[in-house]
Amino acid sequence: MKKLFIIMAIILGIMTGSELQAGNFFTSTEFDPVLISQESEIGIGKNTDQQLRQQYKVSMNEKLNQQINAIGQRLAARSNRNDLKYTFTVLDDELVNAFAAPGGYIYITTGILKKLKNNNEIAGVLGHEIGHVVHKHSLKALQRQMIAQFGLQLIASGLGDGGMSSTLILKASEISAGLLLLKNSRENELQADSEGVRIMYLAGFNPRAMIDIQKMLLGMSQGKDPPAIISTHPPSQERITAIEQAIKNMKK
């Protein structure tokens, strides 16, 4: 009964959230309870990863892959979800972008790597994406979309014992792959930035690199052809101010 009540609350949230920003299921997920178990989340992430590897070309640069994985694992070990087995994949794509799928699957393109000056800035991008995983932003968005698409009865039966059937995991993975490039909400971005600052600081990276990244993206957003990451992770002065405050808080 309690779980049924929670599901109904999420449905009402979808209805009201759609009035604020139609079609964007990241908008009102800040306080959503997560009904999908971690085991199912990992299964969804694994299947989503398989789909993405069919859509994108994965970099074969072994040295680059080792570099990104080393930085990513160093950060992930300090995250509030360090029990996940994180994977960091470099996509050989000129798009300037990075994103995270449920279960700790994180992607960064060669396009954005060309824009980053050093390992601190790479850590800033990866740390932010780890922040999305920690706060389960893509998982919450997926959950809301599934409830909206498949209805209360199917979701209740699929999540009744905290686990999902293999069929439902496959359907969830197909939806998940389509949600990864949606615009993130203000709340999600600030949460991911805050976690990114925290784990960068603890892992020995300079979190001020996140400010440099934001300033770089703000400058690029004024151009005629702004990069893809700006449409999914909008830069703003508010984010810069919040990052600066988070850094001050870490040093107290």
What pLDDT is recorded for position 155? 56
Alpha-carbon gap, residue 231 to 187, rounded angstroms = 16
Q: What's the pLDDT at 211?
A: 97
Regions of the chain short of the pLDDT cut 70: 1-31, 151-163, 252
pTM, to two decimals:
0.86
The end-to-end CA distance of the chain, in Å, is 45
User: Which residues, 6+ apart, have CB-to-CB distance to 46 below 8 Å?
Assistant: 103, 105
pLDDT at 16: 44
Q: What tokens does 2 get?
A: 């309690």
The range of the structural domain enclosing residue 184 comes to: 2-250
Counting the structural domains of the chain, the total is: 1
Say how far apart CA 191 and CA 240 lie, in whole Å: 13
Those residues whose C-beta lies under 8 Å from the C-beta of residue 244, and which sit 6 or more positions away, are: 211
